[in-house]
Amino acid sequence: MNLITIDGPSASGKGTVSHLVAQHLGWDVLDSGALYRICAYAVLEYGLNADDEQAVAAVIPDLVIRFDVDRVYVNDQEVSEQLRLEHIGKLASKVAAYPAVRQALLDLQRSFLTNKGLVGDGRDMGTVIFPQAPLKIFLIADVNERAKRRYKQLVEKGIDADFEAILLDLQKRDEQDMNRAVAPLKPADDAIVIDSSYMGIQAVVDRILGHWEQVRVK
Ligand code: CDP
Ligand code: CDP
């Protein structure tokens, strides 16, 4: 089965590494975080009460979601840039704690797996969505390093950024994601943990491809 899951905290490099691994293997990528971000976007767009779990979950079947390389469309409107905004990330983490929201996104996520192959990027890819994955990676990095990466990413985009605020935000989101009752952020029992604090992107990609070679020949 052509399937690799890459889970881990925010700014550990999951998205970047997932795309490079998938590109090398000629596979698709599931950016599952984008789906929770889309829910957060819909809450704001439709003026829903974010505290109302059922109302948030109920909107999901009405959303026509389309991924085109790194562009994301909801009901034919491009939302790629909006989804990356920090307040959307925070709200995504809030609605992602609702069991009804996670349930409503379950089949959609699993439908991304085809014979072509898939790299699943998220928090619960290896634990809940694809427990059958032959290779599960849990990518971590020191929170200070992650904050530096996020800061650099924003500055390079010309966005005003405050390092301390980013650091606090990452810590808060990590805590929220790790301590929720459903699908908390944690490595699957059979996951390989890679600490990328002091590794370059290519080194992480090569390590994962090396593990895949070993799994594949078994
Ligand atoms: O890019 P970043 O790592 O900051 O976040 P993301 O992957 O876009 O995910 C945004 C939020 O969605 C996370 O903080 C999680 O709360 C939630 N999420 C989740 O619960 N399960 C997933 N498989 C992916 C994301
Ligand atoms: O998807 P996730 O939130 O886990 O992280 P990302 O958006 O892929 O990576 C955050 C930033 O860290 C990007 O600008 C990457 O280029 C950078 N990065 C890095 O500097 N070194 C790594 N080993 C991995 C990512």
Instruction: Report which ligand 2 atom has the smallest distance to the Cα of 156.
Output: 14
Domain of residue 158: give its range. Answer: 3-205
Q: How many structural domains compose the chain?
A: 1
The CATH number of the domain where 149 resides is what? 3.40.50.300
Q: 6, 36, 38, 93: which to mutate for ligand 1, most atoms within 8 A of CB?
A: 36
Q: Quick one: pLDDT at residue 51?
A: 97
Quote the pLDDT of residue 52: 97
Tell me if 149 CB under 6 Å of ligand 2. Answer: yes
Q: What is the pLDDT of residue 59?
A: 95
Q: Kindly state whether residue 128 falls inside one of the protein's structural domains.
A: yes
Q: What is the pLDDT of residue 7?
A: 97
Pick out the chain residues at pLDDT < 70: none
Does any domain span residue 212?
no
Q: Is residue 17 part of a domain?
A: yes
Q: What is the pLDDT of residues 106-163, one digit of tens each?
A: 999 999 999 999 999 999 999 999 999 999 999 999 999 999 999 999 899 888 889 9
ipTM rounded to 2 decimals:
0.96
To the question of whether residue 10 is assigned a binding role by annotation, the answer is: yes
- Kindly report the three-state secondary structure assignment for every residue of the chain: CCEEEEECCCCCCHHHHHHHHHHHHCCEEEEHHHHHHHHHHHHHHCCCCCCCHHHHHHHHHHCCEEEECCEEEECCEECHHHHCCHHHHHHHHHHCCCHHHHHHCHHHHHCCCCCCCEEEEECCHHHHHCCCCCEEEEEECCHHHHHHHHHHHHHHCCCCCCHHHHHHHHHHHHHHHHHCCCCCCCCCCCCEEEECCCCCHHHHHHHHHHHHHHHHHC
Answer yes or no: is the C-beta of 36 below 6 A from any ligand 1 atom. yes
Whole-model pTM: value is 0.95
